[in-house]
Amino acid sequence: MGPLIPNGVIPYEWNNILAILIGIAFGFVLESSGFSSSRKLAGVFYGYDFAVLKVFFTAAVVASIGLYYMDYLGYISVGELYVQPTYLWGAIIGGAVMGVGFVAAGFCPGTAITSVAIGKIDAMVYIVGIMIGVFIFSEFYTLFQPLYEGSYLGNITVVDYFGVNPYIFIFCLTIVALLAFFFTDMIRKKVKKVFY
């Protein structure tokens, strides 16, 4: 749960309980936002609904600004946060596979679980597909391992990789997000005229 448990603010025993509560809250927010609908999620690829793009861009910008502001105030240290190691080719191929699955099914793993919870059959089929993929990957791991662990770049961030000032990067990310919101609204209006 962020730096709260390692710094002793919250006892370690609460780790799993908080994870479950946050997971339930996240699933509730996904469902109430309509993200259990494969049509809404796939809409970003077909140009009629950009809610997913807007939510994730907003989350990235708010989280970035929040983290660095908390770092500035001294509540957390950005340098102490865990950064997932980057394996370049594994990330590229994994992202491509997930992207194809997202376009084909209209779900990502999180939204699929939310949809399963409300009884959607297409999401259940998607989850079965994920399980088959996980089984194949685990059974043939030795075959995939060189690709999976190749091109190791370490625990880096975009800021570290390009050597840019984090505040300038966050500012640029915010501008890109605003431009994306503007242009996707234009696209959505044109696509709606074609479909409706």
Q: What is the pLDDT of residue 3?
A: 63
What letter represents residue 58's amino acid?
Answer: T
Q: In angstroms, what is the C-alpha Rg of the chain? A: 19
Percent of the chain with pLDDT over 90: 33
Determine the 3-state secondary structure of 117 from DSSP.
helix
Q: What is the pLDDT of residue 124?
A: 93
Cα–Cα dist 193/196, whole Å: 6
Burial classification of residue 117, based on how many CB atoms lie within 10 Å of its CB (0-12 exposed, 13-18 middle, 19 or more buried): middle
Provide the pLDDT confidence category of residue 1 given band limits of 50, 70 and 90: very low
Mean pLDDT of 174-187: 93
pLDDT tens digits for range 72-107: 988 888 888 888 899 988 889 989 988 888 888 888
More confident of the two residues 187 and 10: 187
Whether residue 2 is predicted with pLDDT greater than 70 in this model: the reply is no
pLDDT tens digits for range 11-57: 888 888 888 999 899 888 888 888 888 888 888 888 888 888 898 89
Whether residue 194 is predicted with pLDDT greater than 60 in this model: the reply is no
Cα–Cα dist 82/1, whole Å: 11
Mean pLDDT of 117-131: 91
pLDDT tens digits for range 53-80: 898 899 999 999 999 999 998 888 888 8
Determine the 3-state secondary structure of 156 from DSSP.
coil
Q: What is the pLDDT of residue 109?
A: 87
Residue pair 148/88 in contact by the 8 Å Cβ criterion: no
Provide the pLDDT confidence category of residue 139 given band limits of 50, 70 and 90: very high
pTM: 0.74
Q: What is the pLDDT of residue 134?
A: 92
Helices (H), 33-108: 38-46, 51-73, 88-105
More confident of the two residues 166 and 193: 166
